[in-house]
Chains A and B, each alone.
Chain A
Amino acid sequence: MTQAQLAQGTSPLLAVRDVSVVFGGIVALNGVSFDMHKGAILGLIGPNGAGKTTLFNCLSRLYQPSSGDILMEGVSILSRPPHRIAEIGIGRTFQNVALFPNLSVMDNVRVGAHSKTSGDIISDSLRLAWVRRSEASINKKVHEILAYLDLEEVAHTTVSGLPFGTQKRVELARALAADPKILLLDEPAGGLNHEEVYVLGDLIRRIRDDRHMTVLLVEHHMGLVMSIADHVVALNFGKKLAEGTPAQVQADPDVIKAYLGSKDQ
């Protein structure tokens, strides 16, 4: 199977190779492999406990796979500590919104640009000329993103007081501030109503097109995944159940049995 994928010609932007994760005696992921190609929106689906979030946490290096490898542009990311994942172009959002609650929207997004900038405590304390230039360019970038996501009005508001839907947009803005090549979205539709999910789907597609990103969407909301994903990977009990276009996966008898079937009954 690996050879077949290599023969496709275009090398994948991100390759998950035979990844397994074992917690004590529990196998959370069991030999999962798939590729993400540049510019695609890949939907990762599966019932609760299927291993979606475990895989997600392997990608952001919160978990270390027991075996297998994850390659970004052909290079393994597994030797990188979590704080050195952003700099190779992997940005993420969190399942239940993990912002910096006491900072303003602007500062949250500014922290997003941390990996793209440099600085040291002495230059920062003295506010040297290059620090001021760097801050000015961060601010320009942040304002552009806030305008893009319609967050300008709340730029100076502390995030803890904002509605949940707005906080989710702030998180997206924070992830965009580092100009990632891959955007990992962990259940972005969670907690949103029908209307908001529809708007979100549009937004994800727009971000992919405007900002040339590749998106990994881990989602429960089947409607959202099926309407915007180019490619879908279905997991169950830590194993890959099916992979293909949304239509193919939706028609797969195993998937219907494990996931859709059980929901319809």
Chain B
Amino acid sequence: MSAAEEVVAEGHQAVEAVPKRAMTLGTGTSLVVLAALVIAPVFVKNFIIFQMTMLLIYGLAVLALNILTGGSGQFSLGQSAFYAVGAYTTAVLMEHFNINYALTLPIAGVVCFGFGFLFGQPALRLSGVYLALATFALATAMPQLLKLNFLEHWTGGVQGLVVTKPDAPFGLPMSQDMWLYYFTLVVTIAIYIFSVNLLRSRSGRAFMAIRDNEIPASAMGVNVALYKTLAFGVSAAITGIAGSLGAIAVQFVAPDSYTITLAISLFLGMVVGGVGWLPGSFVGAAFIIFVPNIAEGISKGLSGAVFGVLLFLVIYLVPHGARQVAIAGKSES
């Protein structure tokens, strides 16, 4: 009879979602994973430690996208923009204002929350692929914005900024890489726990209610516009903190490190890890970091094609990503 009713009848849904209880790992598995993450760096070379740090950082960025898409049902191909804002916030604060690297993280989080929240306002009028396209525009615009002349004094323009890698504090006998790994690990665990709490709370239920069906969510008193923009804000904040950590780990920020390719990689990571399954974010991050290297090892000249084939295999064999593997493993044991 009317548009409103049709939407209700169809149960308008942007993403196929995971039941909420299956969103995390069990306590036992979590402890094993945690122990492995704490012990591993002692036995490996600095370069591997660096890669593990990057895995955690990209894992956080994928997790942030997972909260947005898996949680509130909104797509984004613009996560690289939030990542860039976080990275530049940290780089500028550290290099121009001599602010301690650890303090720049919450600042970057707040700046990116504001940025994401504001971007969420126009995004409210869009959904599904249209929202993906709008965020795509954001990702495309960001490197150019960072190169703008009047910002050059702060951002270093095309040259970018070099970031000083921090030493381990209190004279701890640890390499810079190892210290940064443990620092990143602590931040990652904290954000992971906060994210799980958030999705299990009243706010998280509001996100998921909106994802599943907006009209009844609104009839239950959920302010749909507010929660959609909040989801964007939270996702941007976490992505920004990941960007900050990335800037410190890589010791360098430049506009062309944060192109649409990064946003697509993060999106890929989310799909491979399983949309809406938070631990999968880190599996997805491992995929986007290591599989291109594996592809290169198989064929230098055709690494892109090999990567494509590997990706195709993953999508074909486990369309729901790492989550599917985890659930299958659980039901067999």
Contact = CB atoms under 8 A, between A and B. Distances in A.
Interface of A: 23, 49, 53-54, 57, 60, 62-63, 82-87, 92, 94-96, 98-104, 107, 110-112, 114-115, 117, 119-121, 124-127, 131, 134-135, 138, 156, 158, 174, 178
B218 A127 contact: no
Given A100-B213, A119-B202, A174 B18 contact: no
Interface stretch (B26-34, B190-198, B307-315): B190-198
15 contacts: A62-B215, A82-B219, A83-B222, A83-B223, A95-B8, A98-B9, A98-B213, A99-B212, A110-B202, A111-B220, A115-B220, A124-B203, A125-B201, A134-B202, A135-B202
Contact of A119 (B17, B21, B201, B215): B201
A119 B200 CA distance: 12
Contact of B222 (A111, A126, A131, A156): A111
B212 A102 contact: yes
A125 B220 contact: no
B157 to A, nearest CB: 36
A99 B216 contact: yes
Contacts of A124: 197-198, 201-204
B271 interface: no
A43 to B, nearest CB: 20
A123 to B, nearest CB: 8
A84 B219 CA distance: 8
B205 A125 contact: no
Which among A57, A83, A87, A158 has the highest number of chain B CB atoms within 10 Å? A83
Contact of B216 (A49, A98, A119): A98
A107 B20 contact: yes
A121 to B, nearest CB: 5
B203 A120 contact: yes
B224 interface: yes
B242 to A, nearest CB: 16
Contact of B217 (A100, A119, A127): A100
B8 A125 contact: no
Nearest to B276: A102
A103 B230 CA distance: 20
B205 A102 contact: no
B247 interface: no
A99 B221 CA distance: 14
B39 interface: no
Contacts of A82: 218-219
A125 B199 CA distance: 8
Contacts of A60: 219
Contact of A94 (B8, B195, B221, B223): B8
B23 to A, nearest CB: 11
B217 to A, nearest CB: 7
A73 B202 CA distance: 29
A187 to B, nearest CB: 11
B205 A86 contact: no
Given A99-B213, A100-B212, A87 B221 contact: yes
Contacts of A121: 198, 203, 230, 234
Given A100-B217, A107-B20, A178-B221, A95 B5 contact: yes
Given A98-B213, A125-B197, A135-B201, A156 B21 contact: yes
B247 to A, nearest CB: 24
Contacts of A117: 202
Contacts of B21: 104, 156
B172 interface: no
Nearest to B224: A83
Given A95-B5, A125-B197, A83 B221 contact: yes
Contacts of B215: 62, 94, 98
B208 A100 contact: yes
Task: Please list the 5 inter-chain residue pairs (A to B) with the smallest Cβ-Cβ separation, ordered nearest first.
Answer: A115-B221, A124-B201, A86-B221, A100-B212, A125-B194
B1 interface: yes
Nearest to B22: A158
Given A98-B11, A119-B201, A57 B221 contact: no
A62 B234 CA distance: 29
Given A95-B8, A102-B18, 14 more contacts: A83-B224, A86-B220, A86-B221, A94-B216, A95-B9, A96-B5, A98-B215, A99-B11, A114-B209, A115-B220, A117-B202, A125-B197, A125-B201, A158-B19
A119 B213 contact: no
Given A83-B222, A102-B208, A125 B198 contact: yes
Contact of A103 (B2, B20, B218, B234): B20
Contact of B201 (A49, A85, A87, A127): A127
